[in-house]
Amino acid sequence: MIPKKKELVNLVILSLKYDNAFNEGFLTFREWSNKIKIITDIDKYNVVRILFNELIKSKIFEKKKVKRTVLYLFNPYKREYKEPVCTGIISFD
């Protein structure tokens, strides 16, 4: 169906590792699909979804459900992700 599907999946993984996508935290499918579209230069939704599902199946992404939204974390390193803490205090010393 998709020629060179494994090569595209490996390209996406390498590119996201290079961009340190783990540090971007949990993002929606739309945000990840936009990144995949830019990396692979493929605009077809079905193809991008197939590639994303392949990444989920290989446990490259972690899922987190927040209310009605599903968020995904790119975590090929199997590290624990700590949410950044914002105290809201600005100090000018």
Q: What is the pLDDT of residues 47-66, one digit of tens each?
A: 999 999 999 999 899 888 98
**Considering the domain boundaries, does residue 65 fall inside one?**
yes
Question: Rounded distance, CA 64 to CA 83, Å?
Answer: 13
**91 occurs within a structural domain:** no
The domain spanning residue 37 has which CATH number? 1.10.10
In a domain, 55, yes or no: yes
Phi, psi of 83 (to 5 degrees): -65, 135
In a domain, 19, yes or no: yes
HEC readout, 45-87: HHHHHHHHHHHHHCCCEEEEEECCEEEEEECCCCCCCCCCCCC
Domain assignment of residue 24, given as a range: 5-74
Give the tens place of pLDDT for each residue, 1-46.
Answer: 466 888 999 999 999 999 888 888 889 999 999 999 999 898 899 9
